[in-house]
Amino acid sequence: MRKKFPRSVYQNILFRQQHKCACGCGEFLLPGEPVHFDHCVALHLGGEDHPDNLRALLPEHHMAVTVRQAKARAKVKRIVVKHGLKKPRLNAKERALARIQRYREMP
């Protein structure tokens, strides 16, 4: 779940970026205009919900980034399903047996 940070944290992020959009376009994020905050490393990829992992973007640039990320996730999912790359989930009994087997193989 995403955290809600105090206003000062968001102001520090803008200051850190010199009030420029983090997508690389170099456009300034002007006071009073809407600003979106995005995770540099997405949460579903193991990124932390921490101010150091946040960046400020213009709303339209944030939408473009989100669309690109969604397309990439969908492609990975299609490849995993098509080629059966996902490990089958073990039930409780199978997990216990695997644990016992690993224990027996220990030196």
Residue range 12-57, pLDDT digits in tens: 999 999 999 999 999 999 999 999 999 999 888 888 999 999 999 9
- In angstroms, the CA 16 to CA 12 distance is 6
Q: What is the pLDDT of residue 107?
A: 61
8 Å CB contact between 93 and 87 = no
Residue range 65-80, pLDDT digits in tens: 999 999 999 998 888 8
Nearest Cα neighbor of 61 from 25, 17, 14, 13 is 25
- What is the pTM for the complete model shown? 0.70
